[in-house]
Structure 1
Amino acid sequence: MLQVGDQAPDFTLKTTSGDTFRLADQRGQRSIVLYFYPKDDTPGCTAEACSFRDQYEDFQDLGAEVVGVSSDSESSHQKFTQKHRLPFPLLADIGGRVRKLYEVPRALLGILPGRVTFVIDKNGVIQYIFNSLGGATDHVSNAKKVLQGLAE
């Protein structure tokens, strides 16, 4: 299991805009709030995404980019992004390769993909891991607190 202090595994995935996002390209530039969520347009996932959206400027001011990951398709992500005006990229992890790389467990007796947030500093080191299917908006407030601590 990945732990705080571990180097975040590198990966490359397609974004909602069709661009390629590679974690290693972010090193030395900004922190990353990498959040894995179960499914586009479900109640908890929508609340989480909209909470990240509503506080997005705060994350930017703290030198961080927010990045959401689920196994939904690029077209599903595009619809979800447009419907809720999400200013950050969503990545299509079709097949769950990156979810496995980050050891994100399944939830509710293995039925649902889990909800886990990682705060990764500018050097690519995991500074925080929060695993909770419930309390979707807690992922946002907790990640912000960690970034505020890194900025001090």
Structure 2
Amino acid sequence: MLSSGDNAPDFALPAANMDLIQLADYRGRHNVVLYFFNKDHTPGGIAEAVEFSERVDSFAEHNTVILGVSLDECLAHELFREEEGIEFELLSDTEGEVSRRYHALKKWEAHGMVRYGIDRSTFVIDKDGLIRHAFYHVMPKGHAAEILSLVQSLGAAED
């Protein structure tokens, strides 16, 4: 598992519009809230995405961008963003490579079959690419407000 003080693993993933987003693009310029969620159109996925989206401007005031990651394909993300009014990038990690590097991909066995899925996780990454906060087993309701408070305190520490 990753924790505070670790270097955030770099990545390049396609967004809903198929543009390639790299974590390194934000280095030196923005803090990043990187969150991993189970799936588009699920109750938890909707709740978490909408709560983050409602706070996009508040995060931006603290020079922070939000990136959501799931195993869904780009076209599913595009539809999800349109339907729910999501105002930040959703990234497609269909192979689970980035999710593995962040220890957010979990394996379980059910009915004799091995399955993989996301352990809802969130990382607050500063402008230097360091993880300032790492959360695993996140409950979606109210989580965005909690993360915004942490980002606000991060900004105060930088002043």
- One fold, TM greater than 0.5? yes
- Give the alignment of 1:72-151 within 5 angstroms: 72-106=72-106, 112-133=117-138, 135-151=139-155
Deviations 1:61-84 (A, max 9, x none): 111000000000000000000001
Residue 107 of structure 1 contacts residue 114 of structure 1 at CA under 8 Å; is this kept in 2? Answer: no
Q: Relative to structure 2, which stretch is displaced further, 120-129 or 140-149?
A: 140-149
Aligned equivalent of 1:53: 53
**Counterparts of 1:142 and 1:38, CA distance in 2:** 19
Aligned equivalent of 1:37: 37
Q: Which aligned segments of 4 or more residues in structure 1 are displaced greater than 4 angstroms?
A: 107-111
**Counterparts of 2:74 and 2:126, CA distance in 1:** 26
Q: TM-score, normalised by structure 1?
A: 0.93
Residue 105 of structure 2 contacts residue 117 of structure 2 at CA under 8 Å; is this kept in 1? Answer: no
Deviations 1:60-110 (A, max 9, x none): 111100000000000000000000111100000011000001111528877
Deviations 1:90-131 (A, max 9, x none): 000011000001111528877642100000001100000111
Structure 1 portions without partners, runs of 5+: none
Task: Return closer, same or farther for 1:101/1:72 CA change in 2, 3 Å cut-off.
Answer: same
Q: Relative to structure 2, which stretch is displaced further, 138-147 or 74-83?
A: 138-147
> Cα RMSD between the aligned structures?
1.6
Structure 2 portions without partners, runs of 5+: 110-114
Q: Which amino acid in 2 is paired with 1:117? A: T
Deviations 1:19-77 (A, max 9, x none): 11000111000000000000000001100000001111111111100000000000000
**Counterparts of 2:133 and 2:117, CA distance in 1:** 22
**Counterparts of 1:50 and 1:108, CA distance in 2:** 28
**Counterparts of 1:108 and 1:51, CA distance in 2:** 29
- Cα displacement (A) at 1:138: 3.3
SS of the counterpart of 1:2?
coil
Q: Relative to structure 2, which stretch is displaced further, 43-52 or 140-149?
A: 140-149
Q: TM-score, normalised by structure 2?
A: 0.89
Residue 53 of structure 1 contacts residue 87 of structure 1 at CA under 8 Å; is this kept in 2? Answer: yes
Residue 72 of structure 1 contacts residue 92 of structure 1 at CA under 8 Å; is this kept in 2? Answer: yes
